[in-house]
A and B are shown apart, each in its own frame.
Chain A
Amino acid sequence: MDTQKETDAASRASVYSRDVSLPAPAPLPRDEDRDTLLHYYYQMVLIRQFEEKAAEMYSKAKIGGYCHLNLGEEATVVGFCAGLEPSDYVYTNYREHGYAIGRGISPNAVMAELFGKETGCSHGRGGSMHLFDIERRFMGGYAIVGGQIPLATGAAFAIAYRGSNEVVACQMGDGTTNGGPFYESLNLAKIYQLPIIYFVVNNLYGMGLRVEKGSAVSELYQKACAFDMHSERVDGNDVLAVRDALRTAARIAREQHEPSLIEAVSYRFRGHSVVDPDRYRNQEEVQAGRAHDPISAFAARLMAASLLDENGAHEIEEQVQRDVAAAVQFANESPDPALEELFDYIYAPEDTPLKGTE
């Protein structure tokens, strides 16, 4: 028994280092625009602090229900958003606060949604797991694992049907690739030649189940071969690598009308949700994961290229602190949804304008 435990612990510790044995972050390419890079950095810091504040607000019972954080996944999140155009459509799972912010929904509207307020991006009806913004084409966080995949595939179907030029990007976790909707939908996307990017964030765990214990193939991008589909595995700690993989996939979608599967290997700094004490992960592994902090790694690259100095980094952090404090204040001061509106939105009225037919 003890021997088994030791073996398990050893394999867990080693597997993490194996899975990130991707190329070390390269020096920044020369043709990158400074302001764009600094904006990525700002967004990553914003998501980090927003999520830390969300955890704090959860512990103060300002936020209810379940609350899943993007801590540790900031490069994956920002790279994903940076690889898309504003006219593209995004579907995600329930770990989506960062994606919502990355798509341009204001932190105020996201925090207000977590607080269940009328000013939230889903008018307080959805909460942490169900963020939505039709204007920014953020088509929802979905809390049934895999539920978003057929929906995203359908959005891509509508784009192909109309012959327009947008792309759909559908984010999911590693555990999702073991369920039926994943296989059914990738098959549909290939046979109908749909402009969609399936984006798997492999943070190595479902809730507590290791990826290789739940999936017959632990390099998840390989699953695309069953559908004769372009696929790629990238270092989810490298914002530019994730962005570039998305850009390539988006080009394939727009120009060749073909779907893709991108796997970003990432790591969750905390438990599955705010209330998860994270006892199933080996502490050594967690320390190693945190040591690969995507934000400090990106800061180091920016500094090495003389695009950022300590002062600049400090200024960005202070700006973010102000933004997050403002979001909390906005959420606190916003009104609850009115009780007499309990029955609003069950059915859409006859004259509701439909997307694409306004």
Chain B
Amino acid sequence: MAEITYRQALHDTLREELLRDENVFLLGEEIGIFEGSYKITAGLLKEFGPKRVVDTPICENSFVGMATGAAMLGLRPIVEIMTINFIVLAMDEIVNHAAKIYYMFGGQCPIPLVIRTPGGGGQQLAATHSQNLEVWFAHVPGLKVVAPSTPADAKGMLRTAVRDNNPVIFLENLALYNTKGEVPDGDYTVPFGQAKVAKEGADLTVISYSRMSTMALDVARRLEQANKLSIEVVDLRSLRPLDHETIINSVKKTNRAIVFEEDWRSFGVGAEIAATLQEEAFDFLDAPIKRVASVEVPLPYSKPLERAALTGAKQLMEAIDEIKPRRRR
């Protein structure tokens, strides 16, 4: 067990998977000579050479499609899309092809493909460089979508993704790369479709994922220390498959739920989870389910405007205040 950054956990896992399986290779824009826009792949070209660490030209649709085609012949490509905003250019190959080939051809050809990409706003990168588009993919049968929030989960889930026989969208977050945490040694894997109760609590459940999950944990700990409320934090980790059982069990215990997400509110993860809870835990709810999400604007550049648009701890506290139980149990 060592304390390392989320970035280091990703880097080390890529390296170990390259060492473990010769069918694994990396490709993406500027991941080799430039060592990656966010330096996740630093040093890997030098160690593994240009066959295993492939710099691509700027053509997201075709290099994602190329990776999909290589996966059809049994390789295990790991694609880096510089930021999730650029993945829009590759939607045809992901949604119409990678997600469909196994089903549409009657189970003859699996697609063992990983697409890693960071989302997230708050760095004054403005409207086209600050999006959270994970729900576009979570909507599609045939894809798996995971979004780890800690270095340990980053390691464990990236290993699982590389060894999976299906296309996996592996969502990272710019603001998580420098965060630190304990990471188990050795061949540590985390299965998909299992949410994690990041903190137990009795009064209210906050359901979240990726960066917002770490923020929810901070808020919950602060409220606990102030002896105000006991909040349970559920880190989804995986959006498709989605772990219904863990969120339902948590709400059955606390009777109150808030979904906390960085993406836009409408048609988002919060909408999906609120619908699931009212279908499957209606009788256990003591308050309306709240959605705390970002304001529905293209993210502006101006720092004050950007701050006003993004959700955060303040908005979560307000929502908690609105639906918290009047008396402590």
Contacts and interface: CB of A to CB of B under 8 A. Distances in A.
A256 B297 CA distance: 53
B123 interface: no
Interface in A146-177: 147, 149-159, 161
Contact of A147 (B70, B92, B111, B141): B92
A352 interface: yes
Interface string B166-207: 100000000000000000000000000000000000000000
Interface stretch (A53-61, A184-192, A264-272, A317-325): A184-192
Contacts of A124: 106
Nearest to A345: B107
A355 B66 contact: no
Interface residues of B, number: 44
Contact of A352 (B57, B101, B110): B110
A171 to B, nearest CB: 15
A199 to B, nearest CB: 16
A47 to B, nearest CB: 22
Given A161-B51, A348-B110, A355-B74, A184 B104 contact: no
A350 interface: yes
Given A123-B106, A161-B25, A345-B102, A154 B59 contact: no
B68 A132 contact: no
Given A151-B97, A357-B23, A346 B102 contact: yes
B108 interface: yes
Contact of A347 (B61, B71, B102): B102
A180 interface: yes
A24 interface: no
A126 B62 CA distance: 23
B102 A155 contact: no
Contacts of A89: 73
A152 B68 CA distance: 9
Interface centre among B62, B74, B97 (most CB of A within 10 A): B62
B72 A123 contact: no
Interface residues of A, number: 49
B68 A154 contact: yes
Given A188-B66, A349-B165, A356 B61 contact: no
A151 B77 CA distance: 13
A125 interface: yes
B267 interface: no
Contacts of A192: 54
Contact of B166 (A126, A155, A347): A347
Given A132-B108, A184-B61, A350-B165, A158 B73 contact: yes
A145 B79 CA distance: 23
Interface in A298-354: 344-350, 352, 354
Interface in A119-156: 120-126, 130, 132-134, 139-140, 142, 144, 147, 149-156
B109 A132 contact: yes
Given A153-B65, A354-B112, A344 B70 contact: no
A134 B73 contact: no
Nearest to A348: B110
Given A188-B57, A357-B23, A154 B66 contact: yes
A57 B329 CA distance: 70
B109 A161 contact: no
A187 B59 CA distance: 10
A140 B69 CA distance: 11
A25 interface: no
B315 interface: no
Contact of B65 (A132, A154, A344, A352): A154
Given A149-B62, A345-B103, 6 more contacts: A134-B109, A151-B68, A152-B69, A153-B66, A154-B66, A185-B62
16 contacts: A140-B101, A147-B93, A147-B97, A150-B68, A150-B93, A155-B72, A157-B70, A158-B73, A161-B75, A180-B62, A345-B103, A346-B103, A349-B165, A352-B165, A354-B74, A354-B112
